[in-house]
A and B are shown apart, each in its own frame.
Chain A
Amino acid sequence: MPEMNMVGAINDALRHEMRKDPRVLVMGEDVGKVGGVFRVTQGLFEEFGEDRVIDTPLSEGGIIGTAIGMALYGLVPVPEIQFADFIYPAFDQIVSELAKMRYRSGGEYASKIVIRSPVGGGIRGGHYHSQSPEALFIHTAGLKVVCPSNPYDAKGLLLASIRDPDPVLFFEPKRVYRAAKGDVPEGDYTVELGKAAVTRPGKHVTVIAWGAMLYEALAAADEAAKQGVECEVLDLRTLWPVDIDAIVASVKKTGRVVVVHEAPKTCGFGAELVALINEKAFVHLEAPPIRVAGFDTPFPYSLEMEYLPLAHRILPAVLDTARF
């Protein structure tokens, strides 16, 4: 099995599916000749040509709008939004058209597209190259939202996303695009959507994370273990539909939960997770669930390492909840 980083694994998934399924095409700003700003689509233009790897003008509403139309006529576009921070000009197309197509047409038309976009901080990108907008799309009924943390999952989840009948937002944690490495099988496999992974088993505190923050949760768990607190770290992988069964199973064991995410705390996905845990596992809780999240401010240029919920902020939350 070749070792790959996230960039390579996503590229491999796209190439694999484009070879297999002529309906699949890639589009976006500089995805073709340049191979994408993070080089995720490198080499696809050379292999599949400009009809299937489409360099678009700077036009997010146009990119997503036309992708939706292509999908209505049976193509399977995988548009890239260069940074998730630039998705808002297309927000109307996603929220009003994409998410509601199946419902509005009584199930006669579905618009199946997979929107890929890098998310998250850690590259000193400041306000507009760092945000994590997953909660906005989770809140929008009709969309699935995925965020892998490692190359194996990235390939398997992307293949599953492209083959899923519903529209998917596929968020790629840019902080670990190249840093996360691992063995990735050649050829075909999928990672089922809607299934979390227990990345580290433990019995005292459940730590829920995804994307780049998974590694911070694991680092905090290592530190907590030295102080006798064993964390069970859950990598959600698919944010919506969320694997509530896996969460409840873990909380039944630990009775204590810390949710970690980069996005601002208020109305972040952590709020929904805590609400679900209260609804489904209240009697098993031994302590109030805690959210360790981004601050309720725009993403700052400096102070990035204070803003992000890194291990040094997760650890005290873990220890406090363990001792509650």
Chain B
Amino acid sequence: MNEVTPVEATAVSAVDPSCARAPVGMLCELTHRCPLQCPYCSNPTDLERVATELTTAEWQDVMRQAGELGILQVHLSGGEPTVRKDLEDILDAAVKAGLYTNLITAGVTLGRERMMKLAEIGLDHVQLSIQDVDSDNADRISAYKGGLAKKIEVSQWAKEAGMALTINAPIHRQNILNVPRMIEFAIECGAGRIEIAHVQYYAWALLNRSTLMPTRESFMTAAKQVEQAREKYKGIIVIDMVVPDYYAKFPKPCMGGWAKQILNVTPSGRVLPCHAAESITHLQFDNVKDRRLADIWLNGDAFNKYRGTEWMQEPCRSCPRKEVDFGGCRCQAFALTGNATNTDPACSLSPLHEEWAKVAEVESHSTPPEFVYRRVGAAKVTVGGT
């Protein structure tokens, strides 16, 4: 699964989240199974097994509860959500619950007939990930042969069925030179949107950081290319960019603020404020099998822990940006400082920032090691080895 951009405040005027107690979006990891093995996958390194996955009826109930809670958009994700043979039934429940539906897929498992079926049930938006526009490099990154050709087909079926199409392109050292070509590719596919999603360094991407981290210079070049493309292709394609926070001055407003806009349901039904939240080892997560979604959202410990700004320490506590970026990412703060209430080291005001930013500088200029591919068990072998 790639990063999902939180529903954000761009637009005519976007929904003011403070008026809305309900989350705007729900990310459902229907499964962690996936035929690809992208080394930056944002699934946890400890992948959930098929035997623990929620049943069809349980997922359908999650969709109904989401509708009642006032959630607006659901992202059907994974792993690869289409490996679930009951995707149609889950989607159907989501559509009937009045949710705006988005399928986040790598595409390689889809056929034309199934795409048409999904459209008929009411799928609104297909978000198709690519690994690169250079087919051989894409194969190498995903450890999967011939993916790109398949993705091109999928993009055309999505268009044929009248669904919205986004190309999601995770960007890193191994493909950053192709950013302009990726944008052109998305246009040729007929996509309405492309996400130039610089990899965020959690989970698998953290394991592979030194292989994936681009240099500051190549990042700046790519950012400029995106700026130029936005001018050139205005009204033709929307280009969204997720910035790598190693090269930013202030952190991103992670998830639009903890427990403010988005919730995430794992394959086994655990409800998280963000897909990486399980890395904060002292948090306890509720499961949809034990508790109603609304109750978890409003009263669950993990949600209330870092909701709002009360939990903050200095320098965030007295910072004018605290309602803008909410102190950055709790998971990153925890991973790097041992305390999730600290300022995210991605912030230039964090005492750890300089040391942290240097990591990117050093790693991006060193010889990249081999990928640790995303597969069950792979992380354990390698952690500690490096």
Co-assembled chains A and B:
no
Interface, chain B (partner A; CB < 8 A): none
